[in-house]
Chain A
Amino acid sequence: MTNLQLVFPEIFLSLSIMFLLILGVFKKNSSKIIQNLSLAVLLITAVITFNETISIKEVKLFNNSMIIDYLSSLMKIVTLLATFLVLIISSNYLRTFKIFKIEYPILILSSVLGMMIMINSNDLIVFYMGLELQSLALYVLATFNRDQIKSSEAGLKYFVLSALSSGLLLYGCSLIYGFTGSTNFNVIANQLGSSEYAITFGIVFILVGLAFKISAVPFHMWAPDVYEGSPTSVTLFFTMVPKVAALTVFIRFLYVPFLNLIDQWQMILIFLSIASMLFGAIAAIGQTNLKRLVAYSSIGHVGYALAGVATGTNEGMQSSVIYIIIYILMNLGLFSCLLMMKRENQYYEKIEDLSGLSKNHPMLALSLMIILFSLAGIPPLAGFFAKFYVFKSVIEQSMYFLAIVGLLSTVVAAFYYLRLIKIMYFDKEKEKYDTDHGLWLKFSLTFSTLLILFYFIFPSQLIEVVSRINII
């Protein structure tokens, strides 16, 4: 037990969660205080992570079951900052539905703790513990608006399907343990060779579980329903944050123990990636609800992120990380717009509700247009670069089929993003929405839009940050 300070962020976060919980129980009407304190906790944890671990090259802790390296530090910081942004823009929404309760930030913090453990994990057991901690919190969050039947339905659906996938995942873990005699990633890596086929079974089961968490086709069925039913602020959280942690685990799990078995898992990942990109693009066309549409679009985007992982190279994995960071930024902007579509305490989430937005709210429409073009991957916006890096690394490995299918599905996907733009800009206007949005909501929309718009001026900064990741 040496370097406790390296897990200081996690320790600090868990202590804070307990403190906040006790504070919430004993102090009446403390939701506002707890919200603000949680924000502070997230920021402080991010700062601690930055100070303590960002410069660490690679240290393993607790009998090698946890790993602190640049990848984990970076992803933890991304997770924490994304969560911070989610929390600050969701308070108005929660107040409107009278669910601005102490549990909300605390649950979010707990799931973040789970994600941080997942990101750190270098061992199947630790990984599973982190995964369950974040999932349990997420089930409750999905049902957070318990008076609405859709929200309860979403939570239940998520719980049942997620439990199923966790079961599969555990089965895979046990197979791998059975054939290698260890749950530690590095030990597994050394024990490969003799029983390759059996281990492949284990990998497949674990990949199924992970694909479920990241909502890749064909394990995506829960996503549209859950995204639609959950409160919008929770959907925002779902589409952004858990994907970061799951992607990190994807990378670590495939690259550390099983890089030598790349022939076995590469096909699976290519399939997951192609299926997600195509399905996400095609299924979104028929949607009428914006949140469902976002669900399908996020399925598609996960496909692109997985395409980078499928290459099995450092560059590919870095491009996935870049992709997910830019994706988070775009989603943040998209949901800020969704949260602004409010009239007399009611939120509108149908596609027709965007109608004529450009007349009533020109700035909102302009930002949303930029974000949508970026999601469609049109240059010179940030979304194009995200795809560009991914396909650059994919083509480096001569995986032309994946690249061409991926790029063709961006054309299909462009169709439904364009449809939204068409409704905003070409259709007749409806009633105006409220304009008294909170300062933070305006901030996050402006922030994300400007970053997306002007990313092309300084593209190398993000690459520089990400290119320090090196786990092979």
Chain B
Amino acid sequence: MNFPILSSLILLPTVGAFFLFFTRSNKQNNFTVKYVALFTSFVNFLLSIYLWILFDHTTSEFQFVEQRTWIEDFINYKVGVDGISILFILLTTFITPLCILSVNNSIKERLSEFLIAVLIMESFMIGVFCSLDLVIFYLFFEAGLIPMFLIIGIWGGARRVYSAFKFFLYTLLGSVLMLVAIITIYWLTGTTDVIELYSLGIEAKYQNLLWLAFFSSFAVKTPMWPVHTWLPDAHVEAPTAGSVLLAAILLKMAGYGFIRFSLGLFPVASEVFTPLIYTLSVIAIIFTSFIALMQEDMKKLIAYSSVAHMGYVTLGIFTIQQQGIEGSIIQMISHGLVSAALFLCVGVVNDRMHSRLIDTYGGIVSIIPKYSVLFMLFTLAALGLPGTSGFVGEFLILMGAFKDNFLVAVIASIGVIIGAAYMLWLYKRVIFGKLINNDLKKMIDLNRSESIILTSLAIPTLFFGFYPDPLINTIEVSISDLIETYNFRLASKI
């Protein structure tokens, strides 16, 4: 396989962005601009599907590895995928075209700049998920800040400046410590190549501090309680497409990082800090669920629910059980689909009524029935109803947790109930009830592009809910191998 498929995946969106850069955006060619972006991201999606077809899921080796010298004797540009990362790449390439399709109503000005930012973002995200060198990983991880900062800041809502700054500075603060850790790893082992580091291992006495440095970055990005406060702000102020990118893909970088680096490189430290992660995850699940219950702003509610869902993810990862980690990955994929869909649902009514407050709505089920049905599907998926992908993830995570720590699992299960409460209550208040606000009567149901977007998110949500095998097959071997190495290295203290 000589065709550099991963590099093409990374580069293609940037090339598309480059073309857009030379297309001046005005009223007439908004159409062209949008279709160039859509075309690029769609081709990228097809390319990633092709990657998935070629992917050999019987081995945990990295595949499609490309390596080029980048800085002599120091860093190699090295990319590759295994069962863990390929799903995230698919998620990224799947969500981005939908994001671009959704900009119709919400982005009124500077459309081509917006699309450039989204496409460049896609490049960076794919780069994060397939880089096999710590420095390259860091480059992509950090570079994503620039487009996201602009997306929130330029196209965001009223308090966009505050939110953009908060987002940027929080994340930057978290990740500079990771940079220190990466350079330290280089001096300890003489390499930043992930595959080599997997086989070399890192001495146990250094692991705790290094783990904490990586943790500081991933915890902010996840986001874990108590550093989650940037997320609701960023979500509320970002335009719909920005929220979707943020919730569906950006948050997954941290979960991916935990699996790939915290577990992979520092098993001894991971074992030491598991109680910390458990505590923070459980607090996040219970505490933010209660906060979500009290929200009046729909986007904020979903943002807090994201924090709770990511709490399950971190919980599942650190159970170090086959089911736990599988569940976490499926939960991340499912959350990527569902939260994206929920944000788009909020976007749909927000575009019509220019309000995200729950009070504004009520009783719209008879006015926009199509919307109500789809919204219900995603609400149910978010609370983890069997038959939706949300169930598979949550179930596996709790199964893993019960194996590892009974108490934590029990508390986390209570979170599921609160989760159901706030999601159903949200749905009830928005869709059912008496129709008081007369302006609502003028609302029109989903237009064509909105239906396409929401249906195409609904299909995988249901499909993987009933038949999660394709996902589990892809990740199974990689995870069992990861756990095996983890336990082996834990025993031999490296």
A residues sitting closer than 8 Å to B (CB atoms) are: 373, 378-380, 384, 388, 391-392, 395-396, 400, 403-404, 407-408, 410-411, 414-415, 418, 421-422, 425-426, 456, 459-460, 463-464
Contacts and interface: CB of A to CB of B under 8 A. Distances in A.
A373 B173 contact: no
A328 B169 CA distance: 26
User: Which 3 pairs, one residue from A and one from B, show the smallest C-beta to C-beta distance?
Assistant: A407-B176, A379-B139, A395-B183
A407 B177 contact: yes
B167 to A, nearest CB: 11
19 contacts: A379-B139, A380-B143, A391-B180, A392-B183, A400-B184, A403-B180, A407-B179, A407-B180, A408-B173, A410-B176, A414-B168, A421-B153, A422-B153, A422-B161, A425-B150, A425-B153, A426-B154, A460-B71, A463-B71
Interface string B265-304: 0000000000000000000000000000000000000000
Contact of A396 (B138, B143, B176, B187): B187
B70 interface: yes
Interface footprint category on B: 20 to 34
A404 B146 contact: no
Nearest to A408: B176
Given A422-B164, A426-B161, A459-B71, A411 B173 contact: yes
Among B154, B180, B187, max chain A CB count under 10 A is at: B180
Contacts of A421: 149, 153
Contacts of B160: 426
A373 B148 CA distance: 13
Contacts of A456: 139
A379 B138 contact: yes
A463 B165 contact: no
Given A373-B146, A463-B71, A414 B172 contact: yes
A382 B169 CA distance: 20
Given A414-B172, A415-B169, A459-B71, A425 B154 contact: yes
B183 A391 contact: yes
Contacts of B173: 408, 411
Interface of A is mostly: helix
B145 interface: yes
A415 B165 contact: yes
A379 B145 CA distance: 9
Contacts of B439: none
A391 B177 CA distance: 12
A411 B169 contact: yes
Nearest to B213: A404
Among A379, A407, A410, A460, max chain B CB count under 10 A is at: A379
Contact of A459 (B70, B138, B143, B146): B70
Interface string B129-170: 000000100110011011001100110000011001100110
A379 B180 contact: no
A373 B143 CA distance: 10
A418 B148 CA distance: 13
A48 B43 CA distance: 53
Given A395-B184, A411-B172, A418-B149, A460 B72 contact: yes
Nearest to B170: A411
Contacts of B187: 395-396
Nearest to A403: B180
A400 B180 contact: yes
B180 A395 contact: yes
A378 B72 contact: no
Given A379-B143, A392-B183, A414-B168, A464 B176 contact: no
Contact of A392 (B169, B177, B186): B186
Contacts of A463: 71-72
Given A418-B165, A422-B153, A411 B176 contact: yes
Given A400-B180, A418-B164, 9 more contacts: A379-B138, A384-B139, A388-B135, A392-B186, A404-B180, A418-B168, A421-B153, A456-B139, A464-B72
Contacts of A414: 168-169, 172
Contacts of A392: 183, 186
Contacts of B172: 378, 410-411, 414
Given A395-B183, A460-B70, A422 B165 contact: yes
A228 B430 CA distance: 57
Contacts of B150: 425
A338 to B, nearest CB: 22
Contacts of B145: 378
A380 B128 CA distance: 13
Nearest to B171: A411
Contacts of A464: 72
A314 to B, nearest CB: 15
A460 B176 CA distance: 23
B242 to A, nearest CB: 14
Contacts of A426: 153-154, 160-161, 164
A400 B187 CA distance: 12
A411 B165 CA distance: 11
A425 B180 CA distance: 32
A364 to B, nearest CB: 15
Nearest to A359: B110
A379 B168 contact: no
A400 B188 CA distance: 14
Contacts of B168: 414, 418
A322 to B, nearest CB: 12
Contacts of A410: 172, 176
Contacts of A411: 169, 172-173, 176
A379 B138 CA distance: 8
